[in-house]
Amino acid sequence: MAFKERVFSGVQPTGNLHLGNYLGAITKFVALQDNYDCIYCVVDMHAITVWQDPAELTRNTREVTAAFIAAGIDPKKHIVFNQSQVAEHAELAWVFNCVARMGWLNRMTQFKEKAGKDRENASIGLYAYPSLMAADILIYRATHVPVGEDQKQHLELARDIAQKFNNDYAKSIEAHGFGEAFFPQPEPLIQGPATRVMSLRDGTKKMSKSDPSDYSRINLTDDADAIAQKVRKAKTDAEPLPGEEKGLEARPEADNLVGIYAALADTGKADVLREFGGAQFSAFKAALVDLSVAKLGPIGAEMKRLVNDSAYIDQVLADGADRARAIAAENMKAVKDIVGFVRR
């Protein structure tokens, strides 16, 4: 069955947005606007799966919204909103909690990593996170989902949930006139040289908001001096850069910095190595600082300007939520009919 093509993705308002979020997700969001109807969500309900200070959650929600707009997302042409304003996400997540299997969720590596050794003390929300994520995407029957590499497993789970729902309720789906399948199989869009940006302090660890060292990441709001310091201090090895991509194997830090450069320059690693092969890191880092400052500087400045205008940001979110809700409510009604819930 052919579904209307639609893009959905989300970002958690859990702290400093960094270069990984930007290159792995937000730049993709921006690029997809020309060819798709897009829905971009600040997933505040996902954020509270681990404790969030309420005032910070509010501030971070506005900051992620500001980042979307500053990076080039057009909230008039597309939909930008925060998840908690559209109750249908939670409603569908409950249905999905009853479709997804414990065995599927037990395999999720993000839960294992985030819950750590103290699993008994993790929230139920953290465990059920992928089921809410499936609902976020499927409440809009979205077909394409741009995410970083780390979200691949959750996307596969969303596909499994869609498939199981379609199978379990096949007769009812047909009887209600929705054909063979109600939900599409959402396709992950994970492409380019920076789908997994690594920590600047350790090339084997993902760049992450929750890393205690601020030197591990470049934040979107970092000024030119901070960016320069962090890139200069970034861990490297002693060899000059190789001339070809094969030479980056087993050199995680070099691979990471070349990938970042390539993504910022909108080119491939091979092109970067053609230019910098044989160069020492000092020269390459200087070029990377210039490029990072040129690309991120204007975004950080615009974010700072926008967060000071919280009335505008809140209006964008309210307007986006109204438009999102119109689509979500229609789909939720259909789900209720398919499942057999009596409704008015």
CB 62 within 8 A of CB 42: no
CB of 65 to ligand AQP, least distance (A): 13
Minimal CB distance residue for ligand AQP: 24
Q: Which residues neighbour 172 within 8 Å (Cβ) at sequence distance 6 or greater?
A: 337, 338, 339, 340
Answer whether 198's CB lies under 8 Å from 204's CB: yes
Active site residue 152: no
Q: How far is the CB of 250 from ligand AQP (least distance, A)?
A: 20
User: Quick check: is 164 catalytic?
Assistant: no
* From 206, 230, 269, 285, active-site residue: 206
Catalytic residue among 114, 152, 304, 336: 114
Output 16 or 185, the one with its CB closest to ligand AQP: 16
Closest CB to ligand AQP among 201 and 209? 209
CB of 337 to ligand AQP, least distance (A): 32
Give DSSP secondary structure letters for 201-260: S-TTSB--TT-S-GGG--BTT--HHHHHHHHHHS---SSPPPSSGGGGTT-HHHHHHHHH
Please classify residue 117 by burial: count the beta carbons closer than 10 Å to its beta carbon, then call 0-12 exposed, 13-18 middle and 19+ buried. Answer: exposed
15 vs 247, beta carbon nearer ligand AQP: 15
Residue 147 Cβ vs ligand AQP, minimum distance, rounded to whole Å: 4
Q: What backbone phi and psi angles, to 5 degrees, belong to 314? A: -65, -35
Q: Pick the closer one to ligand AQP by CB: 153 or 163.
A: 153
Between CA 129 and CA 322 the distance in angstroms is 24
Question: Is-catalytic flag, 269?
Answer: no
Among residues 152, 209, 235, 304, the one annotated as catalytic is 209
Residues near ligand AQP, by CB under 6 A: 11-12, 14, 20-21, 24-25, 147-148, 150-151, 195-197, 206-210
Please give the positions annotated as active site. 114, 206, 209
